[in-house]
Amino acid sequence: MAPKQHRNAADATKLSTFMISAPQVATNKSETAVIAALKNVYFSAKQNLPSSVVPALNDLCIRQGVSQLSDLKVDSHTTYEHNTSIGEFQDCLADVPREDLLVKVKQSGKFSLMFDESTDISVHQNLISYIRVLETNDFGTVEPHTYFLGINQLNRANSESIFGKVLEMLGKKGIDISNLCGVSTDGAAVMVGNKSGVVTRLKNHVPGVLANHCIAHRLALSCSTGADTFPIWSSSRRF
């Protein structure tokens, strides 16, 4: 075979090898960049920082020599640092403890709920929920543990909407509501009303559910009521 043919064959082999390895190299770089970005998203969430700080945190890391984050920016229009991308990263991270929690709920069998309505800075009404399950420790002792279950936006903060959101949330997570044994609320009429309150609706759905008035809310109510018995405090509150 002529030298030129040898060179052509060698070049073809190199090109073929490059075409096979190039996608894998690009995939590895993208994977490394995404892992680094996930760490920054996780850090911001743990430190209660807003999602808007993540791009600046990524840029700081790049300036400090974390070069793999540079591969996160595909082009000037695709950087995976938009609020939507950061939200997707947060959802992926949340899947890990969420799956672990569902295992604990199934192992516990019975569970109780704590929930309250709240309004965020965008004036959207939300339902914040916690779940309480029983776990067996290394010594064989069964102990109750409380975990964050989720935040769900409400169309209206009435009993029907809250009750529907509770059923929807449990259904999406695959949690059988028939295993509900207790519920704790702030004691407001929308929650404990004897005709159509959320607790009343739950009791109609799952007979035997025990209802409890949240101790933190009872403490707040007792403090505000007790302050009225002191003239100096009650008068200052009017100004």
pLDDT in tens, 93-117: 777 777 888 899 999 989 999 988 8
User: What are the domain boundaries of the chain?
Assistant: 22-91, 109-229
DSSP state of 179: G
H or E, element range at 42: helix 3-46
CB-based contact 190:162 (threshold 8 Å): yes
Q: pTM above the 0.85 mark?
A: no
pLDDT of residue 22: 43
pLDDT of residue 133: 92
As averages over each run of 10 residues, the pLDDT of the chain (239 residues) reads 52 53 50 81 83 84 80 64 75 77 90 85 81 89 88 84 90 90 87 87 90 79 72 57
| Fold held by 109-229 | Nucleotidyltransferase; domain 5 (3.30.420)
pLDDT of residue 232: 66
Tell me the residue type at 190: V
CA distances from residue 236 to 201, 220, 223, 239 in whole angstroms, order as listed = 41, 18, 15, 6
CB-based contact 130:148 (threshold 8 Å): yes
pLDDT of residue 128: 87
pLDDT of residue 181: 93
Q: How far is the C-alpha of 125 from the C-alpha of 117, rounded, in Å? A: 7
pLDDT of residue 28: 54
Within a 13 Å sphere around the CA of 203, how many CA atoms are in the beta-carbon half? 17
pLDDT of residue 134: 92
Phi, psi of 48 (to 5 degrees): 60, 35
pLDDT of residue 19: 47
Strand order from edge to edge, sheet including 180-185:
142-153, 125-136, 111-119, 180-185, 210-213
